[in-house]
Structure 1
């Protein structure tokens, strides 16, 4: 089978297209024929740093995919050969299990059935972004631990960067769960995308009084902030967060390694800062996220494509390096790699 691999860190030209044997599934595993693979920022960042521990072990990149179950190992009962599925956290399972290859063998816990009518491009686009958004929306001290229609009714959610992949998923999941959604973007083009995603209110963070505009929408403050720019937005978040609100941080765009907070505003509002990354979030949170995202897919709540606010950029497998470069350069939307025919 064809696979994209790398043995050392560096720019995208360390990626190589090779032939390698697909691995048979062991107990508790399934093998998936990958149709479409999704590229996330963590993929190019990990490639630049090289294999974990600098071992030089052959690594196949990418966490997410849409595909078809090709083989099932002993003990797997909820998946069968021929099932249409979506995968998540694939390359975190073992270095050779990334989805930038024609077949990947994974723990069955990293594979979920794909509802009827959902295409493989959508499947490849949802994994990391939707699971990250789900986690951000379920860490409020007084909020739900699971999402579904009505779970966030009466809540106001502020999504920073509503035109990004995680921001897009956060808007959609929050709306599906009944929240009023405010989002901030940098300009008109991204505002159009955030509106298409379903945000109730779209504001530009470059405006002189974004905090005042948010407070007009939510006089008592916003309950949850889904934050992609923790340092750059620290002062804004302090002005608009509600008492006992939660700022769920998954990125520090437009900032350095430090996040500087004013003590007083957060102290007297009993604000919770929740940092999150899927690698260490725990199996229970991953399972809950996958189940709720699947429910949202079935309800038609997670569409992708430009008309839904998330443009798709597609590359063939042999141009995976270009796909990485596009993500690293800040491509607006979701970058996908087409691996095999549907």
Structure 2
């Protein structure tokens, strides 16, 4: 099979397009013929070695993807053969990700994909959708699971609604019944956040964004899904209700976080930091189940008309796909593996 590998951490140039033997699924695993591989910031960070120690002599990157089950290991229902699936965390703690014609993963990390959902949708789920689910289910008095009506009466602020996680947060929050506000930095990103389903979109570089959010939510925002905590913390606290939650999954821009302890004590702020690797298996399983339900309801479409432009590369140009993600390309970067 054709695959992308790297043996040393470094720039995208360390990625190589090679031939490798077809992997066999072990007990409890499935082998998937990958159609589309999704690229996330954590993929290039792992490749570069930024905060992700390399544990294997050779790595095939990428956590997410979508394709068709073509072999099952011992103990896995043979009825799964031929099943369309989306994959998550394929390369987490393992040397074989989805940047290859075939990927082997634990069976529970290959989630059935409805016929009406394309492989592009499947490859865009994984890290972004599961992270967004986690961000929306950690509030003290909020739901632990998402379904239609679970966030009824709640106000969610999705910071950076034109990004992949922000996009998923908008879609999942809206599916669950929340009023969704998104903050963006440009008119183009505002258009994308609106297309994703945000009820209200505010350019935080214009006028007084806190005042605009307070007009929409005079009692304050219940949950913030935050992508740039250092930059946005002051705004978040200005619009957060008492006992509200700031769920932060990134600190884009790298600005240091300065915390006013008394202000947060008075607000009873919940600051929830999150990453899928250490969220725990129960949280990941619940997220995968709820995201799968949202996909069945047609709640997580992708493409520019749905607020998430698709940027595509063939497998042998995976290095360029990594460069696009590192360069903060607006949209979802996908690698077409097999037709």
**Shorter-chain TM-score: which interval?**
over 0.9
Task: Find the aligned partners of 1:134 and 1:53 in 2 and give their Cα distance.
Answer: 26
Residue 195 of structure 1 corresponds to 194
Task: Find the aligned partners of 1:261 and 1:125 in 2 and give their Cα distance.
Answer: 34
Task: Find the aligned partners of 1:110 and 1:250 in 2 and give their Cα distance.
Answer: 21
Residue 29 of structure 2 corresponds to 29
Secondary structure in 2 matching 1:130: helix
Residue 64 of structure 1 corresponds to 64
Alignment partner of 1:334 is 2:332 = yes
Alignment partner of 1:73 is 2:73 = yes
Give runs of ≥4 in structure 1 deviating > 3 Å. Answer: 50-56
Equivalent of 2:259, from 244, 257, 261? 261
Q: Contact 1:159 / 1:184 at 8 angstroms: preserved in 2? A: yes
> How do residues 238-317 of structure 1 correspond to structure 2 at under 5 angstroms?
238-256=237-255, 258-317=256-315
> How do residues 130-209 of structure 1 correspond to structure 2 at under 5 angstroms?
130-209=129-208
Residue 16 of structure 1 corresponds to 16
Task: Find the aligned partners of 1:53 and 1:135 in 2 and give their Cα distance.
Answer: 24
Structure 1 residue runs of 5 or longer lacking an equivalent are none
Secondary structure in 1 matching 2:191: helix
Q: Contact 2:45 / 2:52 at 8 angstroms: preserved in 1? A: no
Root-mean-square deviation (CA), in Å? 1.3
Q: Contact 2:132 / 2:225 at 8 angstroms: preserved in 1? A: yes
Task: Find the aligned partners of 1:44 and 1:269 in 2 and give their Cα distance.
Answer: 37
Task: Find the aligned partners of 2:168 and 2:133 in 1 and give their Cα distance.
Answer: 8
Return the TM-score normalized by structure 1.
0.97
Q: Contact 2:45 / 2:51 at 8 angstroms: preserved in 1? A: no
Return the TM-score normalized by structure 2.
0.98
Task: Find the aligned partners of 2:78 and 2:289 in 1 and give their Cα distance.
Answer: 13
> How do residues 73-152 of structure 1 correspond to structure 2 at under 5 angstroms?
73-77=73-77, 80-95=80-95, 97-152=96-151
Q: Contact 2:46 / 2:53 at 8 angstroms: preserved in 1? A: no
Q: CA shift at 1:56, angstroms? A: 5.8
Q: CA shift at 1:33, angstroms? A: 0.5
